[in-house]
């Protein structure tokens, strides 16, 4: 579509928006929903959200907030003071990080604070380093602001780790930020204290900002332990935005509460962007989030134990498939097998294999190319053990017919 202005033909739409794709995970999730609504006997291992219900104490806190009339804008827009205090206490208690509540901004999910940080930091042409495989939204959020994603490929053979050397080699005078995600969606890898320290040296030397996405912090399996680069390396930490939220640990994806904590100047800019954008996230959800942080943590533990059992099952079954290898994820709830051994005349790549499994196994997953690796598929194991068994029986049968 185009319109005629004077002598020029111009697109009526923003080329930045036209040039990026809809979020692959969100789009695939919507496609699964549509197929299920039409009655398809489909197993979806697509969703990036816990299949558990939001804990009862959290729901109760929201209902009480409604009944008490806490249903207006929050003042300040950056989040309820009690919630920001609870987050500051959590960051101290669990992550050994000191933030004043004024350095915390509560947003409509972690996704929004990442985007707001990109808006606050990126000028057209600035570079953002993104280790691959990566969560689908990072690169497109950078592109939306006219920035240039610099994708640094890592491979399963080296544990999907970004090395300090690869990072140092990628830094140019245009580099503004690096996006780190540990535990990682989609690989489930978790960086160690030592690895983050070594990356921190390069980051501090270069003086770039870090967006440290720690949303899967609580979905982690021993012996792996979560540490934040901000706690490991003060030189990098003073230029780090910690990103976290309630969607995953508390099964609260629909409530839309996330937050960022970071240096005062950056947080003031992020708060300014949010004030022009969403004002604040849902007030009722913020009361629920206070309860999530300050109430019993029992459900977090039971969910983690369930995810661990499911991980062990799906990874063992994937590794039984000829032509497929899958590393054991240390965190999050995704298996990210290398399926390139299945490629040939019948299915040539990850997108065709995803379609094949949808048609022949009635099982949905996400092609790895959306996360930066066409050799892989992403399976969410936020599904019950019988569901995973059934999905893997179907996949086993479909794969034997390739
Ligand atoms: N980061 C990662 C790595 C994710 O997987 C997700 C899931 N959507 C998000 C951020 C955003 O989470 P939310 O906006 O629901 O807090
Ligand atoms: N983070 C989830 C996923 O990767 C939810 C969808 C999204 O926001 O991308 O599937």
The alpha-carbon radius of gyration of the chain (Å, integer) is: 21
**Closest CA to ligand 2's atom 3:** 48
Kindly list the averaged pLDDT for each block of 10 residues, start to end, along the chain of length 402. 60 90 86 84 93 97 98 94 98 97 98 98 98 96 97 95 97 98 98 98 98 98 97 97 98 98 98 96 98 96 97 98 97 98 96 94 95 97 98 97 92
- Tell how far the Cα of 111 is from the centroid of ligand 1, in angstroms: 5
**Closest CA to ligand 1's atom 5:** 185
Provide CB contacts within 8 A for 1, sequence distance 6+: 11, 12, 13
Closest atom, ligand 2, to C-alpha of 137: 9
The CB of 380 under 6 Å from ligand 1? The reply is no
Provide CB contacts within 8 A for 209, sequence distance 6+: 117, 121, 176, 177, 178, 239, 240, 241, 266
CA distance 123 to 274: 18
pLDDT at 144: 96
- Tell how far the Cα of 4 is from the centroid of ligand 1, in angstroms: 40
**Closest CA to ligand 2's atom 5:** 48
Distances (CA, A) of 391 to 46, 47, 257, 317, 380: 12, 14, 31, 10, 11
For 51, phi then psi, to 5°, come to -85, -5
pTM of the model as a whole: 0.95
Q: Determine the 3-state secondary structure of 169 from DSSP.
A: helix
Question: Which among 283, 228, 292 has a CA at the least distance from the CA of 50?
Answer: 292
Going by their DSSP bridges, the two strands 175-181 and 104-107 should be labelled as unpaired
Q: How far is CA 125 from the centre of its chain?
A: 24
pLDDT at 2: 52
What are the helix (H) ranges across 96-192? Answer: 109-121, 137-144, 164-170
The CB of 253 under 6 Å from ligand 1? The reply is yes
DSSP of 195-249 = HHHHHHHHHHHHT-EEEEE-TTTTSB-TT-----HHHH-HHHHTTEEEEEESTTT
pLDDT at 4: 56
- Tell how far the Cα of 26 is from the centroid of ligand 1, in angstroms: 11
Closest atom, ligand 2, to C-alpha of 366: 10
For 262, phi then psi, to 5°, come to -175, -165
Q: Determine the 3-state secondary structure of 335 from DSSP.
A: strand
The CB of 215 under 6 Å from ligand 1? The reply is yes
- Tell how far the Cα of 400 is from the centroid of ligand 2, in angstroms: 30
pLDDT at 31: 84
The CB of 181 under 6 Å from ligand 1? The reply is yes
Q: Are 258 and 229 in contact (CB under 8 A)?
A: no
Residue to probe by mutation, ligand 2, list 135, 376, 381, most atoms within 8 Å of CB: 135
Write out 283-317 in H/E/C secondary structure: HHHHHHHHHHHHCCCHHHHHHHHHHHHHHHHHHHH
The length of the chain, given as a count of residues: 402
pLDDT at 7: 57
The CB of 135 under 6 Å from ligand 1? The reply is yes
The CB of 48 under 6 Å from ligand 2? The reply is yes
- Tell how far the Cα of 110 is from the centroid of ligand 1, in angstroms: 6
The CB of 281 under 6 Å from ligand 1? The reply is no
């Amino acid at each position: 579509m185009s319109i005629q202005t004077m002598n020029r033909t111009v697109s009526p739409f923003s080329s930045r928006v036209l040039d990026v794709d809809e979020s692959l995970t969100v789009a695939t999730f919507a496609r699964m929903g549509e197929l299920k609504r039409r009655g398809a006997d489909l197993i979806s291992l697509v969703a990036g959200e816990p299949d558990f219900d939001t804990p009862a104490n959290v729901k109760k806190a929201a209902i009480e907030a409604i009944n008490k009339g806490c249903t207006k804008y929050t003042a300040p827009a950056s989040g309820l003071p009690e919630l920001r205090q609870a987050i500051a206490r959590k960051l101290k208690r669990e992550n050994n990080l000191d933030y004043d509540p004024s350095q915390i901004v509560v947003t409509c999910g972690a996704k929004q604070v990442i985007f707001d940080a990109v808006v606050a930091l990126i000028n057209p042409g600035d570079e953002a380093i993104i280790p691959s495989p990566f969560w689908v939204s990072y690169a497109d959020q950078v592109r939306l602001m006219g920035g240039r994603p610099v994708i640094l490929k890592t491979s399963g053979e080296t544990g999907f780790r970004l090395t300090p050397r690869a990072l140092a080699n990628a830094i140019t005078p245009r580099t503004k930020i690096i996006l780190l995600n540990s535990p990682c969606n989609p690989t489930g890898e978790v960086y160690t204290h030592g690895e983050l320290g070594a990356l921190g040296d390069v980051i501090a030397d270069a003086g770039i900002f870090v967006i440290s996405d720690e949303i899967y912090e609580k979905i982690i399996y021993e012996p792996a332990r979560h540490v934040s680069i901000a706690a490991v390396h003060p030189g990098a930490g003073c230029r780090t935005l910690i990103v976290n939220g309630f969607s995953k640990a508390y099964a609260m994806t629909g409530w839309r509460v996330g937050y960022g904590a970071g240096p005062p100047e950056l947080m003031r800019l992020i708060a300014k962007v949010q004030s022009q954008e969403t004002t604040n996230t849902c007030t009722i959800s913020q009361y629920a989030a206070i309860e999530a942080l300050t109430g019993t943590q029992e459900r977090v533990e039971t969910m983690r134990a369930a995810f661990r059992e499911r991980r062990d099952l799906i990874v063992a079954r994937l590794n039984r498939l000829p032509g497929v290898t899958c590393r054991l994820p240390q965190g999050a709830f995704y298996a990210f097998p290398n399926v390139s051994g299945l490629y040939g005349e019948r299915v040539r790549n990850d997108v065709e294999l995803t379609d094949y499994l949808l048609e022949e196994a009635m099982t949905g997953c996400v092609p790895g190319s959306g996360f930066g690796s066409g050799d892989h598929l992403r399976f969410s194991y936020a599904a019950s053990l019988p569901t995973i068994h059934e999905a893997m029986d179907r996949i086993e049968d479909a794969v034997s017919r390739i």
